[in-house]
Amino acid sequence: MHHANHFYGHAHILAEYCGLDPEHPPRIEGYVQHGWNVVDGLGLGTPYVPGRPIFVYSERTRRRAWSMGRRQATVIGAPFLYLLALRPEAPDAPPREGTIYYPFHGWEKQQVLGDHQRQVDEILETEPGPVTFCLYWNEYRNDQVRTAYEAYGRVVCHGYRGQHWLDTDRHFLDKQLAEMRRHRRVASNRLSSAIFHGVAAGCEPAVYGDPMQLDREDQPTAERIRRDWPELHGKQLDLAVARPSALAELGDGFVASPAELRAMLGWTKHYSPQTARVPA
C-alpha cells in the first residue's frame, strides 16, 4: 500500500466504515487521493505504477486523470465524507460561533512565504466573532510563525499527517471535524481541502487574504484555481452557489456502501460479518 493512503488517517477511516479494524487497516489495492488538487488526484511527484487503480474524490478529478492517461481512476468520494457518515452531528449540539481560519501552509519540501502579521490583521478586521487559527503541523512547529497567531486568538493543530507509515495521527480528521462543528465559518487564504471539509461539516466558507506563495511554486496552477472557482473566493459568498460547488469537489453523491467500498479497495477477503465493527 502506498504510504500516502495513511495520510490524515484516511485508510483508518475507510477501514472503520467497512467494518474492519481501524487501528490496522488492510493494504489498499491502489492509491487513494489524499487531498484536493487540480490534477489527477495523485500527490505532487508521487511515483505511479502504470495500471494501478486510483481512487479519487470527484468526477471532475476522474476526467482530468483520464485526460492525463490515468485510465484506472474510480470515483469514491473523499474520506471526510465517510467520516461524516460515521460521526453524525449530535441533535443537541451547542450553537456555533466564530470562525476557524486555516492559513496556507508549507510541507517538508516547500516552505510558505508571506507576511503572517498582515494576514492576522485582515482576518481580525473581517471576522465578526472569535477566531481560531488552525496551523498545519509544518507551521505549528515553527515558533516564530505560531507565536504570530497566538497573540491574537486561540491556536490549534490537528496533528501530523504521517510519512512512510510513521507517526500518522489517525484521528487528524476527527479533530478537524470536532473543531469545525464548533464554528459558524471556515476560512483560508487559499482554496483547499479544509474549506471543502468545512462546508461538508456545515460551516459557511470564505477564501480571502494574501494567498502567500510556496517556495518554487507553480504560479499558473495557483492562478488557475482562483480563475476556475470564483464562487468560492471572497469574504462573503453566495451559499446557494458555493455550497454545491464545494460538495461536488469532495464527490458528494459518490459515497459507496461498505460492501461496495470493500470490493473496490480489495478488502472483501478481510471482512467477516461475525467480526464486523459497523453494520454492513
Per DSSP (E only), the strands in the chain are: 31-32, 54-56, 73-75, 99-102, 112-113, 131-134, 154-156, 185-188, 204-207, 213-214
Q: What are phi and psi of 54, to 5 degrees?
A: -120, 130
Confidence (pLDDT) at 95: 95
The CATH fold of domain 99-249: Rossmann fold (3.40.50)
* SS3 of residue 48 by DSSP: coil
For the whole model, what pTM was predicted?
0.93
Distances (CA, A) of 188 to 50, 170, 261: 35, 23, 32
Angle between helices 239-250 and 193-200 (to 10 degrees): 110
Low pLDDT (below 50) residues in the chain: none
Delimit the domains of the chain by residue range: 3-78+251-270, 99-249
Confidence (pLDDT) at 11: 97
Confidence (pLDDT) at 279: 54
* SS3 of residue 150 by DSSP: helix
Q: What are the tens digits of pLDDT across the range 119-128?
A: 999 999 999 9
